[in-house]
């Protein structure tokens, strides 16, 4: 087996209904030189998720299962996976998302072509369990920090980062949108290059489209005010644009 090129970090909590889809999508990759860290978050209510993850690890040595002794949340679970990884690249996959078979291969090729350290892609929004396409979330071919401040077009499960960048800017568990803040920090050092075709499916579980939209908006406001230090007027201007784009995303 060739040395692994990319480690995929998968936080999982009570994910028994979807995690097999996520892990199967890794087994199906056209790029075989990967490792996956499944971080099962906390001891309570995760026995079924842990069993599924351990079954994959028993069949395929590229999977490694880590279990948090207490519930750390997605951000710190991802950070634990990043610390455990020893590959040039890091990718993130939520336990209710699915990689397309050529996801890793396409992004590694784009990284070589562009000399990029930060990559993402468009993604499909798929209703679950019906598995019907609701919408394609598009992304520009190149994203600078100013672009992302106006609108977070980067889906977490589409991201591939150089490992040194992922370690330098760990996700902040105090932030509601810990991934958004992580991307903004990474963009201080380099732009993000995107594959225009969808390379990931995001599964919309029942009720997820309406899941805590006020909390999501509060998280964006928190990014503008606390993390970026923008004044109230500038933050309101950005929030207005964000609200319009958020509405258009779901129509």
Q: pTM of the full predicted structure?
A: 0.93
| 172 burial type by CB count under 10 A (0-12 exposed, 13-18 middle, 19+ buried) | middle
Q: Is 115 helix (H, G, I), strand (E, B) or coil?
A: coil
How many residues comprise the chain?
Answer: 251
What was the pLDDT predicted at 122?
Answer: 98
140: how many CB neighbours lie within 10 A of its CB?
14
pLDDT digits (tens, 9 = 90+) for 143-183: 999 999 999 999 999 999 999 999 999 999 999 999 999 99
What was the pLDDT predicted at 212?
Answer: 66
Superfamily of domain 6-207: Spore Coat Polysaccharide Biosynthesis Protein SpsA; Chain A (3.90.550.10)
The residues, any chain, with a CB within 8 Å of residue 93's CB and separated by 6 or more, are 8, 9, 10, 22, 25, 26, 36, 99, 157, 200
Contacts 24+ apart (CB under 8 A), 234-239: 238/149, 238/150
């Amino acid at each position: 087996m060739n040395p692994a090129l990319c480690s995929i970090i998968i936080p999982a909590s009570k994910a028994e209904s979807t995690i097999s889809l996520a892990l199967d999508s890794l087994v199906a990759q056209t790029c075989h030189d990967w490792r996956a860290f499944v971080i099962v978050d906390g001891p309570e209510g995760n026995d079924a998720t842990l069993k599924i993850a351990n079954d994959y690890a028993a069949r395929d040595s590229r999977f490694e299962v880590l279990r948090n002794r207490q519930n750390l949340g997605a951000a710190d679970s991802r950070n634990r996976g990043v610390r455990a990884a020893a590959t040039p690249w890091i990718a993130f996959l939520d336990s209710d998302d699915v990689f397309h078979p050529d996801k890793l291969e396409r992004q590694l090729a784009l990284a070589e072509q562009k000399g990029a350290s930060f990559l993402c892609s468009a993604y499909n929004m798929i209703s679950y369990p019906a598995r019907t396409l609701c919408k394609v979330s598009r992304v520009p071919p190149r994203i600078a920090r100013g672009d992302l401040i106006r609108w977070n077009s980067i889906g977490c499960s589409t991201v591939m980062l150089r490992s040194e960048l992922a370690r330098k800017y760990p996700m902040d568990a105090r932030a509601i949108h810990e991934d958004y803040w992580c991307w903004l920090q990474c963009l201080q050092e380099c732009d993000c290059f995107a594959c225009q075709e969808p390379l990931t499916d995001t599964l919309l579980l029942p009720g997820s489209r309406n899941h805590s939209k006020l909390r999501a908006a509060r998280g964006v406001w928190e990014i503008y005010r606390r993390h970026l230090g923008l004044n109230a007027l500038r933050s309101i201007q950005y929030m207005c644009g964000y609200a319009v784009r958020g509405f258009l995303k779901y129509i």
